[in-house]
Structure 1
């Protein structure tokens, strides 16, 4: 269910920032209702991502408008901020715990180029992972290439989820699997995040997931999608799985190849994927490949947050995350 926060409120917040955005979206518990300890929408922090063609130019303008948003890195100028953004972590620069238009917000800035690479190749599966779950698009230009990449990311998410599911499953099981892709290997799922986070995201928002993925599922020739029953059946033959593996994003294919290729063999990716397609543990191999992408990018991005947010804000933000996890534990006891 969408929040009380209206599209007008989102656009009002956006008006506080430089206009040159190829894409802006809001996400998380402040936008879509979640079950569990994150269910208090009214006081939840609003999370945004701003995609920009020219990060140096955008940060330069934003420093003039919103100097106080930045940590000590603002004294090093927009070029250094952009260098930190592009070269460390997952290619995104976050300013957090910002009071804007009466709401506490966090916003990440990523270059259009870096976003496109993540959407198509899953080199970090960080912002691409955010966009595999329902988000509120606040602004978007008419770039056909970007729209196509956003759609490809969703199709890739469905394919990866299929490979980790049995022959027959429910819509909710599919959406839980999709929502969990970008959490595979995420250390925050053990420390700092509520354990049932993925289920809490999906359960109140099945209709939003259906809206996001419905047409993709209906058009996929490998799927029997019984919409009325909310049930799906897929082709789990080695041939069917090989077809799916061959359409996975490049980085995931490479990680699977690295995991499965014995030392000294140096097999090409296609040969490895053919072997995996016949393996009863195919889904586990895909899961390991996802973890190999997510874990390092998540650790690097979290470490970068100490510099981009500043030590004080980082400690406050971390304590808020730990509090959510603690609430989750208390609910279970």
Structure 2
């Protein structure tokens, strides 16, 4: 499960949340505004705080938020909460962002996503945007008793471990694993090729190994395919065809389908299980899984998301 907020920081986050409607199934903070990053000077107080709010009924939530925080929205507020929700659900990665908001003395950016869309992304990796955020350490500020959501959060972490295993050798370090996991959601992100430093994944993982260990430790210890040498910080995994087939069969459906598309010759129309069985015996199994990640729809989703963020900015 994602990391709970530390008591010292929880109060500050709850003060921010007090400015918003309270009907949240999940609220979390992420990124360099919460966790130290290597490679540059880090000033938490002067770094923008990134938040995501998960809501069961986006129309009702935006209706209330427009009454409380009209100035947060761009010109889209003139079109009403139903239109805003339509933009949220049907463009980008299913998230509506209000950026560059001054709240409780700090600049924040907050995204709103419906609970049902988040659950689908966590389970199936439809676009791996918010699900990808939740594969890295975050600070949970609010979480209700939605059993399905909690289960999906756990499944997302287990899927991240499985995908990373398939792309790693038989023996590797904890840091190798966490680097692979942290890089999953960037596989199709055009920002990692243009405009952002390519060492971003290293900068995320290096100062936060303990947080990654807290997030994934119990999953690694409970996995029967892993020898987890906690004292040495080393892991050994089953790279036999049988072991890899088991791992491939537990990957999210969307990734399985992308892998099938890569390997299925024209006119063959093999089912996914047949393709994965063949791949399990292939020495290049990890390479094919990596290609499947790179063919993620994150690329197009993020382009649309970036475009709509520009439209959503408050008018000057």
Partner of 1:166: 169
Question: How far is the alpha carbon of 1:130 from its aligned partner?
Answer: 0.2
Deviations, residues 31-57 of structure 1 (Å, cap 9, x unaligned): 011111362322110000000000000
Choose from 258, 280, 301 the match for 1:297: 301
Partner of 1:45: 48
Whether the 8 Å contact between 1:3 and 1:32 is mirrored in structure 2 is no
Gaps of 5+ in 2: none
Q: Within the alignment, does 1:132 sit opposite 2:135 as a pair?
A: yes
**Number of equivalenced pairs:** 311
Q: For 1:48, what is the secondary structure of its paired residue?
A: strand
Partner of 1:36: 39
Deviations, residues 263-315 of structure 1 (Å, cap 9, x unaligned): 11111000111111111111111111112222222222222212222577xxx
Partner of 2:71: 68
Deviations, residues 131-166 of structure 1 (Å, cap 9, x unaligned): 000000000101111111100000000000000000
Indicate the larger mover: 46-55 or 300-309.
Answer: 300-309
Partner of 1:218: 221
Over 4 Å off, 4+ runs: 2-5
- Work out the CA distance in 1 between the residues paired with 2:246 and 2:312: 42
Whether the 8 Å contact between 1:3 and 1:31 is mirrored in structure 2 is no
Partner of 1:145: 148
- Work out the CA distance in 2 between the residues paired with 1:98 and 1:271: 50
Choose from 262, 266, 277 the match for 2:280: 277
Whether the 8 Å contact between 1:3 and 1:30 is mirrored in structure 2 is no
Q: For 1:19, what is the secondary structure of its paired residue?
A: coil
Partner of 1:175: 178
Choose from 173, 185, 189 the match for 1:186: 189
TM-score w.r.t. structure 2 length? Answer: 0.96
- Work out the CA distance in 2 between the residues paired with 1:306 and 1:104: 17
Q: For 1:36, what is the secondary structure of its paired residue?
A: coil
Question: How far is the alpha carbon of 1:244 from its aligned partner?
Answer: 0.2
